[in-house]
Amino acid sequence: MKLQGQIVDVLNKRIYKGEITFKDGRIISIQEKDHDVNHYIMPGFVDAHIHIESSMLVPSEFARLAVKHGTVATVSDPHEIANVLGIEGVEFMIENGKKVPFKFNFGAPSCVPATSFESAGAIIDSEDVKELLQNPDIKYLTEMMNYPGVLHDDDEVLKKIAWAKYYNKPIDGHAPGLRGDDITKYINAGISTDHECFTYEEGLEKLQKGMKVLIREGSAAKNYEALIDLLPEHFENMMFCSDDKHPDDLLLNHINKLCARAMVKGFDIFKVLQVACINPVKHYNLDVGLLKEGDNADFIVIEDLIDFKTLQTYINGELVFDKGISKIKPVSFKVLNNFKTDKKKISDFRFESKATKIRVIEALEGQLVTNEIHADSFIESNNLISNTETDILKMTVVNRYQNQKPSIAFIKNFGLKEGAIASSVGHDSHNIIAVGVSDEALCKAVNLIIENKGGICAISNSTEKIIPLPVAGIMSDDDGVTVGINYAKLDKMAKQLGSTLNAPYMTLSFMALLVIPSLKLSDKGLFNGGRFEFTSIEVC
């Protein structure tokens, strides 16, 4: 097959009129040729770090949406399903992804469970990591979130790192805010990337010390503006990623959007595209073509080099997106789940106290990090309750793997004036997490999740809506477009209840993420992520 256009040769930093000939999945030749075709042909985009599960779609459905934005491959961390189902979950992701023409590149989860301070559904130890890394479908060791384990020479952590080195596979990092001697030791352990930088200075230090820094712009965590000015000088050691992309956002854009924003800033096109298309392939040794003769025929046709609107996407020479239509077909799969808790009573959400001051999690817009603040308590019949006037709301995390009493905390900046929102997408262990204006509302939302064996929901005084997530309690078995549309409706309802957050459900899902400072909630209690220890709700 032959295709003409303006060839964007990123590797050699030139754009010229040309013609590509490809056959049997490979590029046979790329030749200069005069023609009147104005659209551009360039390498496809690669998301350098993403949890597919956070799209609430199985890999095959994620692919059907991603190709419309020119994405041909992902570096995918199956950490979320691994925390629910262990190796069985990782194998599900690999096999489902193989059923469609898209290049998923999964890693061996390094932290299952993420910490010992929460209840997960599975354990993946160093011997399991060894087994996974022997699989050619496993490309790397996923983000080493247990950075205290690295710094304190934890034996099990070091074994996992050693196996990755033995099999010559890259090791991803996760070290938010780590600086100085600590980040030097972390890097020297063999960890090569970090997608958690949230300041320019932090990103610069890590780059100067030899790390690859990923610019993350997801549905909740948005570090693009903080880091993008590093790109002109450090483009050879940077990549773009989304980390977590909710389905409604995936309907709209992906890595293409980050390139468009970079062009508005006036950055060099070849530097931007090296970050978006080339660096992930080289760093992770991916089987993804870079628009060279002999490469896999993985490339995209775009309208211009400003908005990067995708006209066509080719993967291994197969046209998978054309004229606004994804040509990837839905596939069938077996639904796996791991929900074992019973429904709760309103009294389960009481927190007996006489404290006058309480610790409160302060959620921050566009960030995974939180602050710890102290606030006046609001007590009724010796029970700490939500105060909608000050936006100090009760939240809960409920163990979904066994029957336990819900853990309780308080949170600011969700803004709800009515009802509750809840989700079984609760990083990292994916227990049920909810925020509400009353114990009754919390109980109703949590039980709606339990009844459906997973989902995200919103309840008001008169209405309840849920998107069931039967696949491990974190992914839908429905098509991506339907999930995206329904998610947008649920997001709208959460905002009608009063939430002022841009992405309330994505933000909610990270309020149980203990490895991100400073104050979070697990099913076992309120947790100080800075000191890596439990703390009390009551201050005085």
Q: What is the pLDDT of residue 327?
A: 98
Domain identity same for 246 and 368: no
Domain identity same for 380 and 512: yes
Q: What is the pLDDT of residue 440?
A: 98
Structural domain contains residue 540: no
Residue among 23, 26, 22, 74 nearest 53 (CA): 74
Q: pLDDT band at residue 384, thresholds of 50, 70 and 90?
A: very high
Other CB atoms within 10 Å distance of the CB of residue 306: 12
Structural domain contains residue 303: no
Whether 382 contacts 352, CB under 8 Å? yes
Query: Which of 40-49, 258-267, 365-374, 403-412 has the least mean pLDDT?
Result: 365-374
Domain identity same for 510 and 388: yes
Domain identity same for 50 and 117: yes
Domain finish residue from 287, 306, 330: 287
Domain identity same for 440 and 529: yes
Mean pLDDT of the chain: 97
Peptide bond into 113 cis (omega under 30): yes
Per residue in 487-518, is it b (16+ CB within 10 Å) or e — as a string?
bbebbebbbebbbebebbbbbbbbbbbbbbbb
Q: What is the pLDDT of residue 366?
A: 82
Asked whether the predicted pLDDT for residue 93 surpasses 80, the reply is yes
Query: Beta partners for 468?
Result: 455
* Alpha-carbon 330 to chain mean position: 23
Which residues are CB-neighbours of 70 under 8 A, at least 6 positions away? 44, 45, 254, 255, 256, 300, 302, 308, 310, 313
Asked whether the predicted pLDDT for residue 220 surpasses 80, the reply is no
Q: What is the pLDDT of residue 281?
A: 98
Q: What is the pLDDT of residue 368?
A: 86
Query: How many domains does one find in the chain?
Result: 2
Structural domain contains residue 13: no
Domain identity same for 440 and 522: yes
Domain identity same for 377 and 509: yes
Domain identity same for 270 and 357: no
Question: Can you list the positions of beta strands (E) in 220-369?
Answer: 238-241, 299-302, 310-315, 318-322, 325-326, 357-363
Domain finish residue from 268, 287, 306: 287
Structural domain contains residue 326: no
Looking up residue 80, the CATH number of its domain turns out to be: 3.20.20.140
Structural domain including 475 reads 346-534
Domain identity same for 280 and 385: no
Structural domain contains residue 315: no
Q: pLDDT digits over 128-157, tens only?
A: 999 999 999 999 999 999 998 999 999 999
Domain identity same for 100 and 227: yes
Name the residue with higher pLDDT: 414 or 529.
Answer: 414
Asked whether the predicted pLDDT for residue 78 surpasses 80, the reply is yes
Q: pLDDT digits over 160-217, tens only?
A: 999 999 999 999 999 999 999 999 999 999 999 999 999 999 999 999 999 999 999 9
Q: What is the pLDDT of residue 367?
A: 86
Q: pLDDT band at residue 461, thresholds of 50, 70 and 90?
A: very high
Does the model's pTM come out above 0.85? yes
Structural domain contains residue 424: yes
Q: What is the pLDDT of residue 100?
A: 98
- The CA distance from 256 to 67, in Å, is 11
DSSP string covering 282-303? HHTT-S---S-TTSB--EEEES
Rg (CA), the chain: 23
Structural domain contains residue 203: yes
Q: pLDDT digits over 3-27, tens only?
A: 999 999 999 999 999 999 999 999 9
Query: Beta partners for 45?
Result: 71
Q: Per-residue pLDDT averaged across 359-375, rounded? A: 94
Domain finish residue from 287, 321, 337: 287
DSSP state of 405: P
Q: Give the helix/strand (H/E) hosting 406.
A: none
Q: What is the pLDDT of residue 34?
A: 96
Name the residue with higher pLDDT: 241 or 367.
Answer: 241
Which residues are CB-neighbours of 517 under 8 A, at least 6 positions away? 176, 177, 369, 370, 529, 530
Domain identity same for 91 and 236: yes
Query: Which of 68-72, 365-369, 521-525 has the least mean pLDDT?
Result: 365-369
Domain identity same for 255 and 381: no
Structural domain contains residue 312: no
Whether 412 contacts 371, CB under 8 Å? no
DSSP state of 205: H
Q: What is the pLDDT of residue 515?
A: 85
